[in-house]
Every structure is written in C-alpha cells, then in structure tokens.
Chains A and B, each alone.
Chain A
C-alpha cells in the first residue's frame, strides 16, 4: 500500500511539474512575441550565450572531430574503407555531434548561469522588486534569454561544425596521411544541405530548451543558497536530458523515412 502511495505521489509530482512548466512556457513565449521588446537585453544575452561560449564549444568541437577521424580510420581500416573517413566525420559532426555536444556544453555553462542568476534574484526579492517597478519579470528576464538561446545556438553549432570538420582534417592529413585535396573533396561530395540544416534546427530547439530550463528553475527557486544550488543542478540535468530526448525525436522526424 505504501509503495502504491509512493508511486502515486511521484506521478502526481510529475504531473504538477509538467503542468507548471507548460504554463511557464506558454507565458514566456507569449512575452517573446508581444511588445515591448528589450533589444538591449537580448543583445547582452546573445553576447553571453554566443560569443562567450565560443572557446568551450570550439575546444569541444575540435577534439571531437579529431577523435572521430582517428576512431573511424582505425575502424574502417579493418575492412579497407578508409576512404569514407572524411564523409563520416562531416556527416557525424553536422547531423549529431555538433548540435548535441554544443548543446550539452552550453547547457552546463549557460543553463547553470541563468538558473543561478535568476534564482539569486528570486531569493533576494529582486524579482519582486521588478514587479513593484511595473516591469514584468517574464518580459525582462525570461523572454530575452529565450530569444537569445533560439538565435545563438545555431550560430554556435555552425562554428562547431566547421571547427570539428577542421579537426578531422588535421588528424586525417597530418597523422593518418590522407591527401588534403582528396579529404576536402570527400567531405564536400557527400554532404547534403539537409545534414547541416537538420543540425541547425536541432540547435535552435536545444537553445530554447537550455534557456527555458535555466529560467524556469531559477524563477521557481526557493529558500536561499541551497535552493539556488538545487535550481542550478536541476537546470543542467533537465536541459541535458531534454536535449538528448528531443535529439532522438528530431532525428527520427528528419531522417526516418
């Protein structure tokens, strides 16, 4: 009986969380499309999410591309298919690894920062102060972050794709002895626009998820430093899980024919 009660409590808690998140998303999105638009705040967030995430995303991408070239070379060499290495690197980077790894890295960097900043504002009554100054917190705090996340993740992923492919090229040509011209030709020949476009669409979805979870958890944090810490952890964990889940759904929608 106690077990059933515990399961029921967990299920009800899940429904409550889903309901609250849905309402939060609806209100946040409505503020994204309704005036006034805070261009200055959006620009600041774009700089924070896009520009300042470049080093971490770039490093992740270059090493991923390098490892990918190395691994696919050793694997494909077993059945003399080394010629496919360049194609595997470029398709893997653009379709999957670019968006997913950039998404996860940005979730750790930006999702956590958003939750901590808004959470601290919540527990120190700064969010209440916004309300008393006739400023809607959704419009001032949440909407600029969501818009910036939606716009900047595709830019970051495009950069990650290029750097990742370049990492593969470096290992392929300098370490594995591929001809540079042949490597570049193989990369281009089999790359289709949908490979890049699907990655960018995924990136936009991941950007939305990261900003949403960062803002939602920060906005609903309670109880001082511990509450803010919990909100930060929840923001990163939930964003990461949702990124991986939605990645599968989007991949199935794009490529499952």
Chain B
C-alpha cells in the first residue's frame, strides 16, 4: 500500500544549524501519527517542509506518491487542497469574522458560493461545540480555547484527507486541552483522515495517536505504536516521556 505521506532522508538547515538530519518515515492512510520532541528539535520544520512552506536541501517528500520537493506552485496548490492544518497560535485571520475564517478554504479554495459556505461553516462550528452566535464575532473577541476550536473547525471545514496539528494543546488549561484532544480524535475518526500532530504534551500525544515518533537533534530516534512508548528501550524517549531533567538530553542554553 502506498503511504499517504513518505519522507526519505530529509535534510534541512538554517545557516550552520542543522535542523533536520535525514528524517525518514512512512505514514499510512487514516493513521494518526504524532511526532514528539523538545522545543527546537525540528518538529514544526518537518511539517513546513511537507507543506512546501520550506524547501529541504536534500531528500524526498511524497504525498500519495507525488513528489512535493521542487513541485511547481500550481501543482502544489492542487495537492494542498488535500490538507488542513491547525496552527499552534490558531493563525485565524483577524480581518475576517469567525464564520468566514472557517469557510475560507471553501470560498477561496473550492470556489463555493458564500451563502452555502456560511451554512457549512456554522455546521462545522457546531461540530466543535460552538454556537451560531460565535460566527459573526471577530477572532480577537474569543478566548484562546475558543480560538483553537475555530481553528480546528477551519482545519476540518474542507473535509481534508490529511490534517496537521501543530502543538494543539499548548497554552490551554488542562480541561480545555482535553476537550481539544477529544475533538481531534472525533474529527479525525469522522473524516477518516490521516493526521500528523507535533506536540511535547505527552497526555495529548497518548490520547490522539496510533503511532508515535521522537525527534531529537534532527533525527527520528524512535518510532513505534503508542502503546509501546512506555516500554521503549531508549534512554532519550524514557527521559522525555517522564519529563526528567536528568538524562542524556541536555537543555541547550545556546541555539
């Protein structure tokens, strides 16, 4: 079976700093894959390389067997219609009301009529537990948790085949974080989508993933089923999942 997403020996650096150092992984269709790792280990860069927001120096990235590295912009736009993404800071367009944020991909990407798109947006807002009254508000009028829900509604509005979640629970209180986790699990299951999430929140990672990988110094040092992470015979993984200051991972003071 063709992997939904395939990364082969992906390298990316910024100046002298190597961020991705030969990342290789296959992600199967309808799988929920989570990349864990500390801050600055290259998790976000991995997602940005897959989306074409950054170009790796070396390696291959395939989506449904199509090579993304060096793809023509018009072809990339076509492939990107398969994607939805929940950004860490929600990244809602503050010049647009909430409903138009949710309907953005339908109106701009799918050329849907504005009225039909608005109805669909309201439906998606209801799906993430937000009432129709929220639709006409500006994103700046919402709390962080509500903004995350709107961002989730926007990510799933076009019913994408692949959804990326960038630190979905960062900055939320534990209850709201769990609400978002439940919504992610529900939405991904309902859509039958392939999900790739990056997080350093282990509670969230365990809850939303089928399979996990740990990124450390630009390499995937461990990949396995979620249930196996506690039994992983890897000192780095063990230190990270238990959140210990002592161990082989040393916090870098300088980048």
- CB pair A133 B108 closer than 8 Å: yes
Main SS class of interface, B: mixed
List of A residues within 8 angstroms of B81 by Cβ: 134
* Complex CA–CA separation, A129 to B105 (angstroms): 10
A126-B93, A129-B87, A129-B91 are known contacts. Are A135 and B48 too (CB-CB below 8 A)? no
B77 at the interface (CB under 8 A from A): yes
B212 at the interface (CB under 8 A from A): no
Interface residue total, chain A, C-beta cutoff 8 A: 14
List of B residues within 8 angstroms of A135 by Cβ: 104-105, 108-109
- CB pair A126 B80 closer than 8 Å: no
* Complex CA–CA separation, A136 to B53 (angstroms): 12
Nearest chain B residue, comparing its CB with the CB of A27: B73
- CB pair B85 A132 closer than 8 Å: yes
Identify which of B92, B93, B105 contacts A134 (C-beta below 8 A). Answer: B105
B79 CB → nearest A CB, Å: 9
List of B residues within 8 angstroms of A124 by Cβ: 89, 91
* Complex CA–CA separation, A121 to B158 (angstroms): 22
Nearest chain A residue, comparing its CB with the CB of B81: A134
* Complex CA–CA separation, A15 to B172 (angstroms): 45
- CB pair A132 B80 closer than 8 Å: yes
* Complex CA–CA separation, A129 to B83 (angstroms): 11
Nearest chain A residue, comparing its CB with the CB of B157: A133
* Complex CA–CA separation, A252 to B159 (angstroms): 58
Main SS class of interface, A: helix
- CB pair B109 A128 closer than 8 Å: no
Nearest chain B residue, comparing its CB with the CB of A132: B85
List of A residues within 8 angstroms of B83 by Cβ: 132, 134
- CB pair A134 B77 closer than 8 Å: yes
Interface residue total, chain B, C-beta cutoff 8 A: 27
Nearest chain A residue, comparing its CB with the CB of B151: A129
Interface residues of A in 74-130 (CB under 8 A from B): 117, 121, 124-126, 128-129
- CB pair B104 A133 closer than 8 Å: yes
A131 at the interface (CB under 8 A from B): yes
* Complex CA–CA separation, A187 to B108 (angstroms): 51
List of B residues within 8 angstroms of A24 by Cβ: none
B37 at the interface (CB under 8 A from A): no
Q: How many A-B residue pairs have CB under 8 A?
A: 54
B29 at the interface (CB under 8 A from A): no
B188 CB → nearest A CB, Å: 16
List of B residues within 8 angstroms of A132 by Cβ: 51, 80, 83-85, 164
A136-B73, A140-B108 are known contacts. Are A131 and B91 too (CB-CB below 8 A)? no
B52 at the interface (CB under 8 A from A): yes
List of A residues within 8 angstroms of B80 by Cβ: 131-134
B138 CB → nearest A CB, Å: 14
List of B residues within 8 angstroms of A134 by Cβ: 77-78, 80-81, 83, 105, 108-109
Interface residues of B in 85-135 (CB under 8 A from A): 85, 87-89, 91-95, 104-105, 108-109
Interface residues of A in 122-157 (CB under 8 A from B): 124-126, 128-129, 131-136, 140
* Complex CA–CA separation, A121 to B93 (angstroms): 8
- CB pair B89 A128 closer than 8 Å: no
* Complex CA–CA separation, A160 to B183 (angstroms): 56
B91 CB → nearest A CB, Å: 4
A29 CB → nearest B CB, Å: 15
B171 CB → nearest A CB, Å: 14
A5 CB → nearest B CB, Å: 19
Instruction: Tell me which of A125, A134, A135 has the highest count of chain B C-beta atoms within 10 A of its own C-beta.
Output: A134
* Complex CA–CA separation, A126 to B151 (angstroms): 11
Q: List 6 A-B contacts (CB under 8 A).
A: A125-B91, A128-B51, A128-B91, A129-B87, A132-B164, A135-B108
Instruction: Given contact pairs A125-B88, A131-B53, A134-B108, enumerate 12 new A-B contacts (beta carbons under 8 Å).
Output: A124-B91, A126-B93, A126-B94, A129-B85, A132-B83, A133-B105, A133-B108, A134-B77, A134-B78, A134-B109, A135-B108, A136-B73
Closest 10 CB pairs of A and B: A134-B109, A125-B91, A129-B91, A132-B85, A133-B105, A135-B108, A134-B80, A134-B81, A125-B87, A126-B91
